[in-house]
Structure 1
Amino acid sequence: MKLLVSMISVLLMVSGFRAPDPQEEVTIIIEMEKPVDEIADDLEQRFPRLEVVARYDTLLNAVAVKGTVQDLEKVARIEGVRNQHAVIRYQALAVEEIPFSTHALRDQMSTSYTGKGVKVGVIDTGVDYTHPDLTKNYQGGYDTVDFDEDPMETEGEGATIHGTHVAGVIAADGEMKGMAPDAELYAYRALGPGGMGTSVQVIAALEEAVEEGMDVVNLSLGNDVNGPDWPTTHAVNKAVEMGTVVVVAAGNSGPGAWTVGSPATSTPAITVGASSMNTKVPVLKVPGEKRQINIQTLSGSVPWSLDRKYPVVFAGTGGNTLPDVRGHVVLFERGGIPFFEKVLKAYQAGAEAVLIYNHEEGSFSGGLNGGAIPIPAASLTRKEGLWLKENAVEESQWVETVMVPEAEQVAPFSSRGPVTTNWEVKPDLLAPGVAVWSTIPGGYTSLQGTSMAAPHIAGAAALLKEAHPDWTAEDVKRALISTADLMEKEAGTFDPTEQGAGVFDIKEALQPQLLLHSENMTIGKIEGRLERKNLTLTLENVTDTGIEVRFQQPDRKKGETWELPMTFRLDGNETKEVSISLGLNGAFLEDGVQEGYLSFQAGDAFYNVPYMYVNQKSTYDWVSGFEFNQGWPDKGTADYRFHLSDPVDAVTIDFYRAGTMMWAGTVVELGEQHAGMVEGEVSTKEAGLAGMYTAVVEVTRAGETDSYAFPVYIEGNP
């Protein structure tokens, strides 16, 4: 394979990109062919200014190396370097709200299992192992941020609480009871001050957890890369292959489709979305208007509990000094300065509360990573923010907070599937993730997010491992999925890409009657006019009693023809593979994601198998993960690579000068390309390129064209 020199690369994505200075210190992950220790020792001897910050020899054959961009480029000359990866940032996912008690959920389970003897690793911001509800179960861990054996939560500036909250949901045993209160708890601090970390720390933490024999690992972290090919996802895949149950939060980027991010895109991992219980949530109303504005409290904010009407003042992105805003709610636009600075400015100017609306379509989740501020802060969609600006600010109207009842549902912030490239249904399950009450350093609080949903499943997995110590990671996942309950809404059920198999049912999962092996039920992408998909579903009767199995035809949909098994008997302890055929006529099908459930009755129980396919085209990005990695500046070359979700007819990459956006030239022109990774080399010297640019990747497929912009920095003399 051609050696790639990726020392200047970070993940080149539009949101939040800043190219590093040649003298700036960065960290990258280098995969190699030779043994890890041999390469690492060679690097340290030949390049004393470089620092090997992590060695991976369990899930990856790689090292993480820190140094200046200029020094790191020399690593490309080392024989045996196979590939290099940009370091991606991961962030804890949470928001604060009204409490839901995990303790109460455990009381409803009526089980004698407590997770005794099961090792559960929490890869997160660390854990306050001195908390009285956690100290009994805490057994150790590791800190891959500071690389020592003290995985305590960050204290002081950038203090965190996230990992302790997650740990409490799993295994608190004191005033609060977690899902598995007797589990052996291990903490792996991979996210540092402010809840931020990178793939360096996350992969290192996962390696530590696997090497120390964790039965279950919880990853309540994520990014927004909707693809199955990231190094962290590969590491999760390997961990499951080696026998560890890995539970991953789906992400907080909902409610849009295609928002599940790596490593929640891992096929064998248990990806968990968030459900909300019956509760009351705050909404905003403007007098005389029927519309209600939904708000999402920022992580680290005090609860939104305003009990009076307040006028609203608009403060842009917060870059300017605020006037006296005593008795007002301050409305900001996202961008410019961090959330914490916006809220702090408003508080110092006397504000009662802060609202921040998105600068692009859709909702967002954010946090106040900087300390406690005694006024509430919440996020809005761009559409809602602009409406509030027009109808409250410009009309000099006041806003009122109203607490409205909310039925059990998929939480709006919970990321949705499917996953590009492999076209799989994600998430796999739902668990409570709204206003979850749990431990934090010095006490307790409520948070919400898929970060809070995932540890419910990690705790449930610990109970299953105690009850069935011979079960594999695959068995645990099958038991949870096979016994989940579909969540209903007014117009039927939520879709598979919203809820997967549904809400977990631990009582049923502990003693299942039937396990569903649905790995071969992936339908994929449909591009032909007439296609037939042959699928297999394996049913495993884990009881001694025979049962009759009767399939039901799905709701009729034009363009779909299902051929399902005739009614048959499944004997006790029998495993049977059944064939299912799906005929598709593209002339009658709508474009985009088509999904639903195959239902059947086995004995007295009903089962639902999610299915999904993409017909022709949908709203996902054709291009993702673009990288432009400069080689030696004096050689004037650079490597590029990106991932295509579909085959395309043509690709061009044009460069535009940053700021002026004047066209600087076409650097890549390609003909037909298959789906997957596209790689190549270009001459930056020939094109006269140096400095900051916007790379526009334009792809053409079946007569349609789409383009994607990514910031790029090229070292040299402009």
Structure 2
Amino acid sequence: MLRTTTTARRAAAAATAASALVVALTVAPLAATLPAGATPLNDATASKTTVDTSRAIVQLTMAPLATAAKTKPAKGKKIDFNNSTTKAYRALLSKARNDYKAWLRTNVPGASVTGEFDIALNAVAVKLNGASLKQISATSMVAQAQYEGVYYPTAASIADPDLALINATAGWGTNGAAGAGRNVKVAIVDSGIDQTHPCFSDAGYPGQTQLGDKKYTNNKVIVARVFNMKLNQNGFDAQGVGDHGTHVAGTVACNYQTPVTVDGVAVPYKMSGVAPAALLGNYNVFPGDVESARSEDILNALEAAYADGMDVANMSLGGDAHGIQDLLTIAVDNLDRANMVVAVSAGNEGPGPFTLGSPGSAERALTAGASAVPHFVGATLTVATAAQPFLVAAGDFPTVAADLGAPLGVVTGTTNGFSDACAALPAGSLTGKIAVVSRGACTFTTKVRSAQNAGAVAVIVVNNVAGDPTAMAADGTTPEPTIPAYMVGGSYGAALLALDGKAATIGAQLGYQLTSNANVMAGFSSQGPVDVSLRAKPDVVAPGVNVLSSIPMADCEDATGCFAFFSGTSMASPHLAGSAAVVRGQHPTWSAEQVRSAIVNTATQGVLKDYKTATVTNDVLVVGAGLENLDAAVDAPAVLGPVSAAFGGIPAGSGQARSTTMTITNTTGSSKTFALSVSDQPAGVTYAVSASSVTLAAGASATFTVTATAAKAAPAGFKQGFLRVKVGGTEVAHAVLLTVTK
């Protein structure tokens, strides 16, 4: 698992029904599409269901409100539901759905409609009851039908290292935290929000109209709704039982300067969300102990969020992608056109190309890859003859109550010299020893259990990627290991191999550790390109490893607040959602596309590091446009549409040329001349821009053409370049260009 929690949470969870919920941060595994040699690093690669063949979404032919000519909102505006034209067209859509339902009752009587949509999609959800997709779509009223996808819920005070990485506080502007996202509404489509957490106290917030189940709302968390097909039989409500949604919500909008304690360790700074003044909506699609949601649940949640007036939505979830006609990605695109920004996690199925899932694959999704925050809570491992102690991270497993001394028992194997301990170890081989094994190939629980069964008194897991250790999550299987377990950074692996048998001591004292290992890409972060369209994704990278945020108060005994370190692209996406709230708050007339562009096209390049070597990488399939920079985003003098350009697949050696148009808008208050050029020309493909510069009045826009020409001798592969936009020699924006020769 990529999820990490606290020792205090383990004790509380054991006594509650919530203990059964292990929320997945990954998208549904795409192991079948991984290229040879690309092994997921998420430590839990068991297959999950990605499609529910018992249910379908049926898209009808009439356009939804978001895109219909009569009802689509003007640029930068939202749908006016009170307009007579909108009401009339909505009635037509309702009639069309009623006509289809009547047809279905006559022609496929076993099937039944379970939901209806008209904002992002003109569609119905159908329980098939044995019917086929062909049967339910055998009418001219239907544009297409798809099985429902199944989706999983993919820091004296120092400065908050998380916010510092993305220049968040600088981006808050002259009003500081009090204005950061103020009056902007962010929907959290997840496992709920614990509104009783100090991060979401409404003290000082003006009165708000509260919607949904008001047991779980206040003047900060202003909506609480639940969406799940099991609702009627299980009686779930909107309560934030699972810790995933509360963690995500804290990253978006935890109140400014909230004190933090983890496992009894006082963190030496007070945390804030990226948009601490924003308002939140709880759209719970993983209620109670439910671990998956269907397309219908998510569509319902998104449409409700839009109708409730949400400006931004965050979806730290994902599932299998279904190509260019994936209905959930179409819905995301349409909501963006209707002026709601939708931030989505890329998924945790990396490394390797084509591992990005839905709905992060949507062209207009603001899709997040994950990089490291350089901190954790842990202890020290002292070994005889070693020059200095090793820092080890604590997590879900027990920690030592008093200093524990024992010889090291290195278990050798093929993963950087260590065994992954996924299979049973020889009985008695680790009796009385502190076992040292490698991360990878199976869950942490499996490794710790294997070592314990072989007699180990404690376990040290060596990370198999660059950067800091992460706090390990238990997988919930029984019997649960009872011995202490920690992780150590992979850079210490060689030293530990040489210390086999040496006397060692694990210290009982936990402490907050701030390191220099910032901006290392997560090995698990899913990579593009998107299938079919071959568009570059993720769009941009944000912190997603060792992210410290809130979890439900029931998970801890500390009444002052409950916090934990989590890892996953689920943790990166809310950074983008919070950033979108800040940008929208400062630029309320910008369209959703312009907000996305400001965040994507001003990202910082040349700082993100490869997960294996820790050397800088600008591979757009891994890092997109770079590491988000909120300060640059809010001051963006130009925005682009689309935010990147994809030229699809060109047969290698064909010599073909393909073109696409882009729009640039001057967002400043005065006339500007923008120089346009292409850098990083790849071997075999040449990119060209139709104009070397454009001069635009304040607020004006212009279109230009970018052309990709493949050489007749072009080798197969991914061909990336960058469109550069400069004013007076200073770069103000850049956009990814991608062609695949094959």
Q: What is the TM-score with the length of structure 2 in the denominator?
A: 0.64
Instruction: Return the alpha-carbon distance in structure 2 between the equivalents of residues 346 and 257 of structure 1.
Output: 34
Q: Residue deviations 1:407-430, cap 9 Å, x none?
A: 434333322211121111111122
Instruction: Return the alpha-carbon distance in structure 1 between the equivalents of residues 642 and 107 of structure 2.
Output: 51
DSSP-derived class of the 1:525 partner: strand
Instruction: Return the alpha-carbon distance in structure 2 between the equivalents of residues 494 and 533 of structure 1.
Output: 24
Instruction: Return the alpha-carbon distance in structure 2 between the equivalents of residues 232 and 240 of structure 1.
Output: 13
Shift of 1:271: 0.7
Partner of 2:622: 498
2:376 matches 1:310: no
Partner of 1:597: 722
Instruction: Return the alpha-carbon distance in structure 1 between the equivalents of residues 647 and 593 of structure 2.
Output: 21
Task: Check 1:130–1:468 CA distance in 2 against 1; reply closer, same or farther (3 A cut).
Answer: same
CA contact (8 A) 2:624 2:736 kept: no
Pick the aligned partner of 2:711 from 585, 598, 601.
Answer: 585
Shift of 1:580: 3.8
Task: Check 1:605–1:278 CA distance in 2 against 1; reply closer, same or farther (3 A cut).
Answer: farther
Structure in which a larger fraction of residues adopt strand: 1
Partner of 1:419: 530
Structure 2: which 5+ runs fail to align?
1-27, 33-44, 61-94, 155-159, 203-219, 259-270, 384-389, 412-418, 465-469, 507-512, 554-561, 610-614
Instruction: Return the alpha-carbon distance in structure 1 between the equivalents of residues 598 and 55 of structure 2.
Output: 38
Q: Residue deviations 1:640-692, cap 9 Å, x none?
A: xxxxxxxxxxxxxxxxxxxxxxxxxxxxxxxxxxxxxxxxxxxxxxxxxxxxx
Pick the aligned partner of 1:530 from 655, 665, 685.
Answer: 655
Shift of 1:226: 7.6
Letter in 1 for 2:347: G
Instruction: Return the alpha-carbon distance in structure 1 between the equivalents of residues 581 and 644 of structure 2.
Output: 27
Q: Residue deviations 1:177-219, cap 9 Å, x none?
A: 2122222211112135667213243233223222322110001
Instruction: Return the alpha-carbon distance in structure 1 between the equivalents of residues 441 and 311 of structure 2.
Output: 42
Letter in 2 for 1:453: A
CA contact (8 A) 2:192 2:240 kept: yes
2:551 matches 1:440: yes
Task: Check 1:198–1:18 CA distance in 2 against 1; reply closer, same or farther (3 A cut).
Answer: closer
Percent identity over the alignment is 26
2:185 matches 1:119: yes
Task: Check 1:611–1:456 CA distance in 2 against 1; reply closer, same or farther (3 A cut).
Answer: closer
Partner of 1:144: 227
Letter in 1 for 2:188: V
Pick the aligned partner of 1:178 from 269, 273, 280.
Answer: 273
Task: Check 1:135–1:79 CA distance in 2 against 1; reply closer, same or farther (3 A cut).
Answer: same
Letter in 2 for 1:151: A
Letter in 2 for 1:436: V
CA contact (8 A) 1:117 1:182 kept: yes
Structure scoring higher RCO (CA < 8 A, sep ≥ 6) equals 2
DSSP-derived class of the 2:663 partner: strand
Instruction: Return the alpha-carbon distance in structure 2 between the equivalents of residues 90 and 452 of structure 1.
Output: 16
Letter in 1 for 2:459: A
2:567 matches 1:472: no
Task: Check 1:554–1:48 CA distance in 2 against 1; reply closer, same or farther (3 A cut).
Answer: closer
CA contact (8 A) 1:101 1:436 kept: yes
Partner of 2:335: 239
Task: Check 1:245–1:312 CA distance in 2 against 1; reply closer, same or farther (3 A cut).
Answer: same
Shift of 1:519: 5.7
DSSP-derived class of the 1:460 partner: helix
Instruction: Return the alpha-carbon distance in structure 1 between the equivalents of residues 425 and 127 of structure 2.
Output: 37
DSSP-derived class of the 1:601 partner: strand
Partner of 1:641: none
Shift of 1:444: 1.1
Instruction: Return the alpha-carbon distance in structure 2 between the equivalents of residues 279 and 166 of structure 1.
Output: 18
Shift of 1:220: 0.8
CA contact (8 A) 2:398 2:485 kept: yes
Letter in 2 for 1:586: K
Pick the aligned partner of 1:190 from 261, 285, 295.
Answer: 285
Pick the aligned partner of 1:223 from 310, 319, 344.
Answer: 319
Q: What is the TM-score with the length of structure 1 in the denominator?
A: 0.66
Instruction: Return the alpha-carbon distance in structure 2 between the equivalents of residues 310 and 525 of structure 1.
Output: 53
2:366 matches 1:270: yes
CA contact (8 A) 2:396 2:471 kept: no
CA contact (8 A) 1:103 1:179 kept: no
Instruction: Return the alpha-carbon distance in structure 1 between the equivalents of residues 184 and 450 of structure 2.
Output: 47
2:577 matches 1:458: yes
Any residues of structure 2 matched to 1:271-670 within 5 Å, and which?
Answer: 271-277=367-373, 310-313=408-411, 317=422, 327-329=433-435, 331=437, 340=445, 343=448, 351-353=457-459, 355=461, 368-370=474-476, 375-376=484-485, 405-442=516-553, 443-488=562-607, 494-518=618-642, 521-527=645-651, 528-552=653-677, 554-555=679-680, 557-564=682-689, 565-567=691-693, 569-587=695-713, 589-603=714-728, 605-617=730-742
Letter in 1 for 2:637: Q
Instruction: Return the alpha-carbon distance in structure 1 between the equivalents of residues 103 and 394 of structure 2.
Output: 46
DSSP-derived class of the 1:272 partner: strand
2:151 matches 1:90: yes
CA contact (8 A) 2:200 2:255 kept: yes
Shift of 1:263: 0.8
Give RMSD over aligned pairs. Answer: 5.1
Instruction: Return the alpha-carbon distance in structure 2 between the equivalents of residues 298 and 51 of structure 1.
Output: 50
Partner of 1:210: 306
Of residues 160-169 and 524-533 in structure 1, the stretch that sits farther from structure 2 once superposed is 524-533
Task: Check 1:606–1:32 CA distance in 2 against 1; reply closer, same or farther (3 A cut).
Answer: closer
Of residues 538-547 and 320-329 in structure 1, the stretch that sits farther from structure 2 once superposed is 320-329
Task: Check 1:12–1:567 CA distance in 2 against 1; reply closer, same or farther (3 A cut).
Answer: closer
CA contact (8 A) 2:162 2:543 kept: no
Instruction: Return the alpha-carbon distance in structure 2 between the equivalents of residues 616 and 392 of structure 1.
Output: 46
Instruction: Return the alpha-carbon distance in structure 2 between the equivalents of residues 32 and 418 of structure 1.
Output: 26
Task: Check 1:206–1:551 CA distance in 2 against 1; reply closer, same or farther (3 A cut).
Answer: closer
Q: Residue deviations 1:362-407, cap 9 Å, x none?
A: xx999535399774466999xx9xx99x9799x9899999997424
Partner of 2:10: none
Task: Check 1:406–1:214 CA distance in 2 against 1; reply closer, same or farther (3 A cut).
Answer: same
DSSP-derived class of the 2:581 partner: helix
Instruction: Return the alpha-carbon distance in structure 1 between the equivalents of residues 136 and 686 of structure 2.
Output: 57
CA contact (8 A) 1:300 1:369 kept: no
Letter in 2 for 1:266: A
2:378 matches 1:253: no
Q: Residue deviations 1:324-370, cap 9 Å, x none?
A: 7553337589779x765665676687652375999xxxxx9995353
CA contact (8 A) 2:719 2:739 kept: yes
2:222 matches 1:161: no
Instruction: Return the alpha-carbon distance in structure 2 between the equivalents of residues 469 and 212 of structure 1.
Output: 17
Partner of 2:171: 109
2:294 matches 1:199: yes
Shift of 1:169: 1.0
DSSP-derived class of the 1:31 partner: strand
Task: Check 1:299–1:221 CA distance in 2 against 1; reply closer, same or farther (3 A cut).
Answer: farther
Task: Check 1:74–1:219 CA distance in 2 against 1; reply closer, same or farther (3 A cut).
Answer: closer
Task: Check 1:120–1:32 CA distance in 2 against 1; reply closer, same or farther (3 A cut).
Answer: closer
Shift of 1:473: 1.1
Letter in 2 for 1:236: V
CA contact (8 A) 1:140 1:186 kept: yes
Shift of 1:283: 14
Instruction: Return the alpha-carbon distance in structure 2 between the equivalents of residues 43 and 537 of structure 1.
Output: 43
Instruction: Return the alpha-carbon distance in structure 2 between the equivalents of residues 542 and 182 of structure 1.
Output: 24
Shift of 1:281: 11
